[in-house]
Structure 1
Amino acid sequence: MSSATRQSNAAARERLEALTDSGQADAAALAADLLAVTSVLDREVGLRRVLTDPAVEGQRKADLARSLFGGKIGADSLDLFSGVVRSRWSNSRDLVDGTEQLAAYAEVIGADKAGALDEVEDELFRFGRVVASSNELRSALTDSVASSAAKAGLVQSLLGGKAKPATTALVTSLVTQPRGRSLEGGLEDFSRLAAARRGRVVALVTVAVPLSDAQKDRLAGSLARLVGRPVHLNIEVDPSVLGGVRVQVGDEVIEGTIAGRLDSARQGLAG
């Protein structure tokens, strides 16, 4: 990601936070509007090229956005997107990605303000585990032939009334507008976005048996001291690891399971 796109994404998030912190805008409504804009930008290559053309003045881009989306999305959403297109983007795809990420971040903010962000993080992780364990479900959610309405209906049947509204909305957006992302990758992106809202990192912890609350607290504290930031634990129980703990934070893996040590020992003997 170029510095121009990074700066534009950061500026867009700051504007979104200011808008929602003021209490004047509904985060879920903003998310829905921005997702609708994303869909249009994804289809209309010429439009997104004009909106990211460095030779076109920022105000002209904002005026074009208002003429196209005025009356179709809310006033707050229109103001927010007008600011987005005034910024510099390295290429037209970055504008689409940035708008989509802004929609997801609006859902995260709404969950945070409702005091439900921890639950949303956990629900996204658990849903990912369910999908990973069922090839049939994964195929149904990623079927390129199935309509968006059918896939949205499937998500609603799985999560509606059982998960937080933000969780359902995020998963629905992912299966109806994957835009080249894998289902697993999209869910991980959402989890990182939710953790970033709290200034945290996500650690995937694999254990043989469930951890007690005290053990979770001790592990989270130890990892926080190690990485220098608060840590949100996503815990997966896998009896095949036999014992110990395996922790993955980003690309870093701390292997402390019995199965892992046995594998290392076998490799050593084989060498």
Structure 2
Amino acid sequence: MRGTSKASHDAVLRGFDPVATAAGEDGITIAQHLFMVVDALDTSGSLRRAMTDPARPGTDKASLVAQLFGSLDQRAVDTVKEFAEARWSEEQDLAESIEDAGEMALFAYSDNAGTLQRVEDELFRVERILEGNRDLLTAMSNRSATKDQRLGLLEDTLGGKLHPTTAALLERVVGVPRARRLVPAIKLLLEQAAQRRGRTVASVTAATELSAAQRERLASILAKAYGREIQINVAVDPEVLGGIRVQVGSEVVDGTIFNKLDDARRRLVG
């Protein structure tokens, strides 16, 4: 998403953030209702066109939202109206932005409840499980399977083990993947959770688990380098042999023995 759509997305979400923060437990309901609007847009090309038509007055589009979705939570309806009144470069950007608002509502609820750190930890563990089990990832990402089949697999694998916010977020990306791939979608959720806590995510791969002291030391080093708090998520991969690989956003620092050996091999071959 970029250009006009990005500006609209960011402006509406800035206004929605305090609404989501003040909603408390209602954040769950608001998220569910926003997701219902996304599903309606995804299944109706005519509705997408009507709500993103730049030639149609914003007041008309807001009236359409009230007509179609007026029975939903008023805070969700008002937010969708604001999205509809904005301008969009691509039709699909509207639904994507409303999806982001739903996720924001869930994170705000968890933040208010003091459980956001737990949610973030659980999302990271699920990501590692999926990346370590290709058969499970393939089955849970199978677009040929029905929504109920994918959600059934999620329940069989993790049911009863997750915080309700974590479960709601995963049920969304597994049950209604839209154009998203599962692991990258979970990584984006992790980034959103960290951002809500005022942190940036550093994905660390090491041959063995890092101690608490090592994590604190690495977080301190990265915080000084980036000028902000860093959330360390560590994945253990024995194949790296030694050292660590750190990724912050698009920046990667690879100090693993495996990478050094691979560099040496390439130099010899070249």
TM-score range, shorter chain: over 0.9
Shift of 1:175: 1.3
The alignment yields a C-alpha RMSD, in angstroms, of 1.7
Q: Which residue of 2 aligns with 1:57?
A: 57
Rounded to whole Å, the distance in 1 between the matches of 2:113 and 2:155 is 21
The answer to whether the 8 Å contact 1:155/1:168 transfers is no
Residue in 2 aligned with 1:46?
Answer: 46
Give the corresponding residue for 1:164. 163
Conserved? CA contact 1:25–1:76, under 8 Å: no
Equivalent residues in 2 for 1:110-125, closer than 5 Å: 110-125=109-124
* Runs (5+) with no aligned partner, structure 2: none
**Separation in 1 of the partners of 2:65 and 2:37?**
10
Structure 1 counterpart of 2:73: 74
CA distance in 1, matches of 2:158, 2:68: 34
Residue 128 of structure 2 is matched in structure 1 by 129
Identity among equivalent positions (%) equals 40
* Separation of aligned partners in 1, 2:35 and 2:23: 21
Task: Kindly report which structure 2 residues correspond to 1:177-256, keeping only aligned pairs within 5 A, or say none.
Answer: 177-256=176-255
- Contact 2:21 2:108 (8 Å CA) reproduced: no
Shift of the alpha carbon at 1:67?
0.2
Inter-partner Cα distance in structure 1 for 2:172 and 2:34? 11
Alignment deviations for residues 11-31 of structure 1 (CA, whole Å, 9 cap, x no partner): 222222221333477111111
* SS of the residue 1:137 aligns to: helix
Distance 1:223 1:34, change over 3 A: same
> What is the alpha-carbon distance in structure 1 between the residues aligned to residue 14 and residue 249 of structure 2?
25
How does the TM-score come out when normalised to structure 1? Answer: 0.93
Task: Verify the 8 A CA contact 1:156 1:168 in the aligned structure 2.
Answer: no
How many residues are treated as equivalent by the alignment? 270
1: CA distance, partners of 2:21 / 2:103: 16
Distance across 2 between alignment mates of 1:109 and 1:57 = 32
Q: From the superposition, tell whether residues 21 and 128 of structure 1 become closer, same or farther in structure 2 (CA, over 3 Å).
A: closer
Q: Partners in 2 of 1:43 and 1:29 — Cα distance? A: 21
TM-aligned CA deviation for residue 99 of structure 1? 0.8
What's the CA shift string for 1:90-141, capped at 9, x where partnerless?
2211101111111112111112111121221221121112112223322321
**CA distance in 2 between partners of 1:141 and 1:54 (Å):** 38
- Give the direction of change, closer, same or farther, for the CA distance of 1:129–1:232 in structure 2 (3 Å limit): same
CA-to-partner distance for each residue in 1:206-240, whole Å, 9 max, x for gaps?
11111111110110111122122221111011122
Structure 1 runs (4+) greater than 6 angstroms displaced: none
Amino acid at match of 1:205: V
- Which stretches in structure 1 are left out of the alignment for 5+ residues? none
Contact 1:31 1:106 in 2 (8 A): yes
CA distance, structure 2, for counterparts of residue 148 and residue 173 of structure 1: 10
The aligned amino acid for 1:169 is A
- Cα deviation, residue 169, structure 1: 0.8
The verdict on how the C-alpha distance between 1:263 and 1:101 changes in structure 2, with shifts beyond 3 A counting, is: same
